Structure 1
Amino acid sequence: MTLPTDDRFVYQTNLLNTAGGIDIDVVPAWTDYTGAGVSIALIDDGFDLAHPDLAGRFDLAASYDFAGSDPLPQAETGDDHGTAIAGIAAAARNGVGIVGVAYDATLVGLRVSFTADDSTDQFTAAMTHMVDNDIASNSWGYAGAFADNYADGWLDGQRAAIEDAAFNGRGGLGTVILFAAGNGGNSADRVDYHSVTADPHVIAVGAMTATGAAASFSNPGAALLVSAPGQSIPTDDVSGAGGYFPGDYVSLSGTSAATPEVSGIVALMLEANPNLGYRDVQEILAYSARATGAVSDWQTNGADNWNGTGLHFSHSVGFGLVDALAAVRLAETWTTTHTEANLRTIDQTYTGPAVPIPDGTGRIDSTITISGDLILDHVQVSVDITHAAAAQLDIALISPSGTRSILMSAAPVTGAMSEFTFTTVADWGEHATGVWTLEVADHTAGTAGILNGWSINLQGDAATNNNLYVYTDENTNPIAVTDSNGGTDTINAAAISHALTLDLAARTGIENLDTGDGNDTVYGSALDNVIDTGRGNDTIYASVGSDTIDGGAGTDTYITESVFNHNVAVDADGTVTLTSLDTGIATHLLNIENFVFAGVSYDLPSLAAASRSGDLVDVIYFIHGAAGIAGMHSDTLGHTAYEAGTLGVGGTGTVLLADREGNHLTLTNNAGQDLSGLSMRMDDGLAVTLHGFIEVTVIADGTSATSVDIGGGQQGFIQTGAGGDTVNFLGFLIDPHIPAQDRTLTANTNDGNDRVTVTDRSGYIAYDIDLGSGDDTFTAIGTPGGTVHGGDGADTFAFGAGAQNAVIDDFNPLLDHLDLSALTAAHQGAIDGFLTLTTSQNATTVSVGGTNVATLAGTVLDQTLQHYLDTGVVIVD
């Protein structure tokens, strides 16, 4: 790309370092993203609004001076810091001065005063406006270990402002909040000793030298997420004689300088993907950060989804040096949204006796065992220690995987140990299950102490079989991951910038793939793949599944060994759908320039011209009536009304209505009880809607997705095949003379991620459902009872109004979910007691409001209800 012409850009080696030192790899990211449309709120000591790099960069209507109660956050005499921070984050690319990391982002200035005798109320007031912005960048903090301890109470307003921004900012996605880690490293201060900076809703940013070492002044800690260059960073200064020095520019050092660099990168990420939750941003920064050789205290944690192993973590620099290009590539391809709303937690307290701490002679190890599971983000540890000399204590947390988080070491404090909650990010991506060990040591003799107790709060996401495996340029081995636990799994290698060759058929169990900027070669598998090859001139070899492929930027080629015998449809967005007339399998292609079938090449115009118009699927079905059975078929579009005399099955007048739109067939019984039933065998790719038949039999045992919608029936047998099928059955009492034991829906959906919904408006329809393997969803509404077998995979069993007496014969609390949200939504008050789990012998009964909703046969849920709510096994509203 063309480099900026701003005259001081050549000195900004933090952005582009051609001399062998580190940089944040932002220049190549500017090809696509500059922060446009993203707001960065800066809480700082005022800003030179007329500076050539900053003029017009602030949204003044959203800005405010909380120190001077003035609408404009203009820097006053002595206010030097804020202008420098603003320049690093978002100075204009205008041919003058420097260039900001996100030079098209919108700045919002929230001025406070750093004068020692000014009230902290101004900071609290400014922080309440974080919720109104996409990003809140804070290059300030509290001086001194444990100076900002949430347990003291005086920070309740700031804590509430942080939580409000995380909960409600960006329409519920969460404002991304960043704080400087602090500059007390030379005085043994740590991020871990500051409640605000170590808050799980906050990204703590450390500083690095130009060689990639941790800056000596930068606070280390287990709560440190990432680091950025923080020594002699070129930036803007208050114009003229004001500011740090005469002139308009200055070099700034400190974690204050590193933080707006990361804030700018976050702006690029949010431009690339506005749907990221604040927790997604934290995770992407961790996954995309680079290890530098100048740091010596690296450890690899117990996660298993990053470059074939765990994530590297250092107490000196967190997960490493931020990488803007890698971060935006992951952001572009990120498909999940992790917010405060779907955060899961597990809390557990040590229940043993108080333990004396050896006085200068050793340590104690105290353990808590976690039986539930999460995929971890943050872990918090609250300690209750009696010790008159807190500076003598060393405290560490060891995860079940062996990851060591140093929480306290030779703290620069005098006096006794206070109640405090520590935070660590070092366990990111690990599983929560297992034994957690708290190590407490007194390294200096002379003062005795006691560990009275401690508790652990684990935060993250519910464990799932839908696994994500991330690969970056740090990976030096062939990608060899396989997955055997089911679910829909993804290899995200979008952060790899070089050419990649990958065969999904060899990566057993992996469905989806994202690649990066190289000229990649990708081979599909027999599964239904979703493949995005990003930038570069990529080559994609077809598989036998129903695939969705996006070639991205570049000149991309799709190759199949099949002879061209396809119907070609091109949507308004450019998506090309190839439907094989031999197999019926549809493949969806976007941003593909060249197509090769059995060695014959096509471009899109020639491919569309060669399109073959296959016949509609010919459906064979039988109508059962009082006077006989009529064999029927449907191979034409439109509406057809069948008369009684034509069919010869009974009734008078028009007895059957058939409507065909493409491969969707709708059949309606227009003769009431004179037509008693319908039986049908369906081919792949067909959807049917059947109205008003007393008894329905549908066999659709192909391999692609099938939809069966029965709008009013009394008996049914439905069997589908290996696709992701949808079955909806609406029960009506059409013929009251049919015995109750015969009013049953039996369904077997076999393989695939299927959805089965049974709604009963008669109060008589029972069911016997086998969902087969796959991540299936079963929903019952108004049903008097029945049996459902989930099969392999992570299944969800949902119950709506009136559903009762279900029997789930293979519920797996490690994979499956009970969704009771429709039954609990209107409940006011405590959920415990309204919803109960009762274990008897080898089964668990689930009751809501005194009604037996389901029995989990052969499954014992013997933990507390809250445990299953926290782990996502039971879902309520």
Structure 2
Amino acid sequence: RHGTRCAGEVAATANNSHCTVGIAFNAKIGGVRMLDGDVTDMVEAKSLSLNPQHIHIYSASWGPDDDGKTVDGPASLARQAFENGIRMGRRGLGSVFVWASGNGGRSRDHCSCDGYTNSIYTISISSTAESGKKPWYLEECASTLATTYSSGESYDRKIITTDLRQRCTDSHTGTSASAPMAAGIIALALEANPFLTWRDVQHIIVRTSRAGHLNANDWKTNAAGYKVSHLYGFGLMDAEAMVTEAEKWTTVPPQHVCVENTDRQIKTIRPDSIVRSIYKATGCSDNPNHHVIYLEHVVVRITITHPRRGDLAIYLTSPSGTRSQLLANRLFDHSMEGFKNWEFMTTHCWSEKAAGDWILEICDTPSQLRNFKTPGKLKEWSLVLYGTSIQPYSPRNDFSKVERVRSSPVEDPTEDYTTDDYSGPCNAECSKVGCDGPGPDHCTDCLHYYYKSKNNTRICVSTCPPGHYNADKKRCKKCSPNCETCVGGHNDQCMTCKSGYYLNEVTNSCITSCPDGFYLDKNKVVCRKCSENCKTCVEFQICTECRHGLSLHGTRCAIRCEEGKYHNGRECESCHRSCATCAGAGVDACINCTQGYFMEDGRCVQSCSSGYYLDHSTESGYKSCKRYDQ
């Protein structure tokens, strides 16, 4: 139901006279079924990297629990899927990931503790009621980029959209409704200009979103002139303005990433006090390839120990004076884990200058529910500055559309002739830059991807060959030796395995046999995890051997009870009077029969039925009735 409602907002057909019209009614849309089972890192990675040359926009209205105490984000495979998506999706223009900022407002949750909305690769979308007031479920944080409409109080109208079984609903709610609305608006912009990169889309959102009638007491104007809020980001998205801007848009300069030195000076965080740390950033001015002058995203990577994480609030002030709240107090977060290399992100410094003094402030507001004997400590923190070394909106920065879809050319080929020596046709896998020979190993730049042959020659290909994965700058790199397909080069990044190996679904590695606690799914050649009580099994719930302290009852493992009893989940309970041993309640759960009863077709009977005879030969000593033909 949830997916059907979100899909209708984006792409319901025009003039359907039934329910609603999608924002981008020319768009095509599909659903990825990923939340109907265990949502593993692999499941997330496969969902976020599904058909990246066909799917332009991924809209996600899911994430970690909005309970005000969880700190969680994408694991290694999902992070790699994001990075691969922005590098290689849409033929190198970058996949666009749209994310709902979260519905944990009532739990005092903060979306900076959600690593999906807090990522530079996602466009985090907040909600507003039609009145422009803050909805009760809204989470405030500095990573939110913009806002669209959704539900509010009980008297506010909700979102009208399609529903299951060809019905219509007028009650779609929460940031779940806002993210697909943003995805539809972005789809309109891509329809107007299909050459927009993933960063172009974010720039256009920043430039065209408006504070308008959105009600917040924290609106501020940053040093670049943009109004921004922790509730609504840069404001309400404007479809017409985005399309107009997209039609005349010039691609922004390449992204530079500046990782400033880590400040490892340990500072004690005392109750009812503020810890300040000042870092003088250069924006990596000594390295032209990493030099950031004009900011886009700013990430603070931080490690803190603390007896109650929810008592902390964290602020970052830019050299231009823009103050972002990276974390607010969370009433229900009693964790003593603190933060370990957690990344907080802010968009509030967009287009400001990077160089100068950055001020980190940590406030400890103690609750009565904590241990005051152990103070918190700021162990280390560092800045990661994302942006450009060139003013992104300069009229002189006029890249052509051909340039928009090209990345850096590959190194010079090893053949001994130059471009002047060859004037024939190029291979189909060469880009428009040209070639110095007829083969796929003669391209100056590849159209799609390339890999290195055994003699170190670069060969252009349409897709990476088996045993390779799409890495940076169009390069196909080798998977771990046993992997057939993978998302990275390590042995725990396999997706499928070579013949003779099986994929361990937990470790994502390729192995020759399934270990204890796993069984072989022969259809998919995957080692799948047994039920938690099994030591060995042939299917998930069909155990062949049990873990220590458990005993096998039929095909299930249960806590071992004395003979004549079974474990009902809480305690040992007597079997049916006809059972000597049993796996559960009732006459049908008998394993062996008590004195005066005989086992016949899984039931204990007092006398054998017609066509059966009494068998005295069982090794266990328990008697059974067998068919005459057995």
Structure 2 length-normalised TM: 0.57
Match of 1:333 among 234, 241, 248: 248
Instruction: Judge conservation of contact 1:374–1:459 (CA < 8 Å) in 2.
Output: no
Match of 1:356 among 246, 268, 283: 268
Distance 2:87 2:305 in 1: 35
User: 1:818-857 residue pairs with structure 2 within 5 A?
Assistant: none
Aligned length: 377
Instruction: Judge conservation of contact 2:64–2:72 (CA < 8 Å) in 1.
Output: no
Q: What are the superposed Cα offsets for residues 305-342 of structure 1, whole Å, 9 maximum, x if unpaired? A: xxxxx10110001111000011111111111245xxx2
Match of 1:142 among 53, 64, 67: 64
2:37 is the counterpart of 1:110: no
Which residue pairs with 2:9 in the alignment? 88
SS in 2 for 1:111: coil
Distance 1:109 1:95 in 2: 24
User: 1:261-340 residue pairs with structure 2 within 5 A?
Assistant: 261-293=181-213, 294-303=215-224, 310-337=225-252
Match of 2:117 among 190, 193, 197: 197
Q: How much does 1:344 deviate? A: 0.1
Which residue pairs with 2:384 in the alignment? 457
SS in 1 for 2:165: coil
Instruction: Judge conservation of contact 1:275–1:337 (CA < 8 Å) in 2.
Output: no
User: 1:9-408 residue pairs with structure 2 within 5 A?
Assistant: 80-93=1-14, 94-114=16-36, 119=40, 121-129=42-50, 131-132=52-53, 133-144=55-66, 147=70, 149-150=72-73, 155-231=75-151, 232-239=158-165, 247-293=167-213, 294-303=215-224, 310-337=225-252, 342-351=254-263, 353-360=265-272, 362-371=273-282, 372=285, 373-408=292-327
Distance 2:64 2:208 in 1: 29
Instruction: Judge conservation of contact 2:110–2:139 (CA < 8 Å) in 1.
Output: yes
Distance 2:263 2:81 in 1: 33
- Are residues 458 and 97 of structure 1, via their aligned partners in 2, closer, same or farther at CA, if it must alter by over 3 Å? same
- Are residues 107 and 324 of structure 1, via their aligned partners in 2, closer, same or farther at CA, if it must alter by over 3 Å? same
Q: How much does 1:259 deviate? A: 0.6
User: 1:775-854 residue pairs with structure 2 within 5 A?
Assistant: none
Root-mean-square deviation over aligned CA pairs:
2.6
Instruction: Judge conservation of contact 2:296–2:386 (CA < 8 Å) in 1.
Output: yes
Q: How much does 1:147 deviate? A: 4.1
Q: What are the superposed Cα offsets for residues 546-602 of structure 1, whole Å, 9 maximum, x if unpaired? A: xxxxxxxxxxxxxxxxxxxxxxxxxxxxxxxxxxxxxxxxxxxxxxxxxxxxxxxxx
Question: Partner amino acid for 1:96?
Answer: H
Q: How much does 1:118 deviate? A: 5.7
2:324 is the counterpart of 1:409: no
SS in 1 for 2:339: coil
Distance 1:141 1:130 in 2: 21
Q: What are the superposed Cα offsets for residues 165-224 of structure 1, whole Å, 9 maximum, x if unpaired? A: 111011111011101111001211122111112110100011110011232202221000
Instruction: Judge conservation of contact 2:42–2:78 (CA < 8 Å) in 1.
Output: no
Q: How much does 1:349 deviate? A: 2.8
Question: Partner amino acid for 1:149?
Answer: D
- Are residues 334 and 404 of structure 1, via their aligned partners in 2, closer, same or farther at CA, if it must alter by over 3 Å? same
- Are residues 229 and 161 of structure 1, via their aligned partners in 2, closer, same or farther at CA, if it must alter by over 3 Å? same
Distance 1:140 1:191 in 2: 12
Match of 1:488 among 368, 382, 396: 396
% identical aligned pairs: 33
Which residue pairs with 2:522 in the alignment? none
Instruction: Judge conservation of contact 1:344–1:374 (CA < 8 Å) in 2.
Output: no
2:344 is the counterpart of 1:422: yes
Question: Partner amino acid for 1:334?
Answer: W
Q: What are the superposed Cα offsets for residues 37-80 of structure 1, whole Å, 9 maximum, x if unpaired? A: xxxxxxxxxxxxxxxxxxxxxxxxxxxxxxxxxxxxxxxxxxx1
2:350 is the counterpart of 1:431: no
Q: Counting strand residues as a fraction of each chain, which structure ranks higher? A: 1
SS in 1 for 2:276: strand
Question: Partner amino acid for 2:358?
Answer: W
- Are residues 89 and 348 of structure 1, via their aligned partners in 2, closer, same or farther at CA, if it must alter by over 3 Å? same
Question: Partner amino acid for 1:405?
Answer: S
SS in 1 for 2:207: helix
Instruction: Judge conservation of contact 1:208–1:215 (CA < 8 Å) in 2.
Output: yes
Distance 1:125 1:350 in 2: 34
- Are residues 421 and 336 of structure 1, via their aligned partners in 2, closer, same or farther at CA, if it must alter by over 3 Å? same
Question: Partner amino acid for 2:28?
Answer: T
Question: Partner amino acid for 2:228?
Answer: F
Instruction: Judge conservation of contact 1:131–1:164 (CA < 8 Å) in 2.
Output: no
Deviates more, 1:98-107 or 1:293-302: 293-302
Match of 2:375 among 448, 456, 464: 448
- Are residues 363 and 110 of structure 1, via their aligned partners in 2, closer, same or farther at CA, if it must alter by over 3 Å? same
SS in 1 for 2:313: strand
Q: How much does 1:142 deviate? A: 1.3
Instruction: Judge conservation of contact 2:160–2:168 (CA < 8 Å) in 1.
Output: no
Distance 2:316 2:102 in 1: 22
User: 1:653-672 residue pairs with structure 2 within 5 A?
Assistant: none
Q: How much does 1:459 deviate? A: 0.2
Instruction: Judge conservation of contact 2:300–2:382 (CA < 8 Å) in 1.
Output: yes
- Are residues 188 and 379 of structure 1, via their aligned partners in 2, closer, same or farther at CA, if it must alter by over 3 Å? same
Q: How much does 1:163 deviate? A: 1.1
Q: What are the superposed Cα offsets for residues 354-378 of structure 1, whole Å, 9 maximum, x if unpaired? A: 1111222x20110111123421110
- Are residues 443 and 250 of structure 1, via their aligned partners in 2, closer, same or farther at CA, if it must alter by over 3 Å? same
Which residue pairs with 2:539 in the alignment? none
Structure 1 length-normalised TM: 0.41
Which residue pairs with 1:514 in the alignment? none
- Are residues 326 and 444 of structure 1, via their aligned partners in 2, closer, same or farther at CA, if it must alter by over 3 Å? same
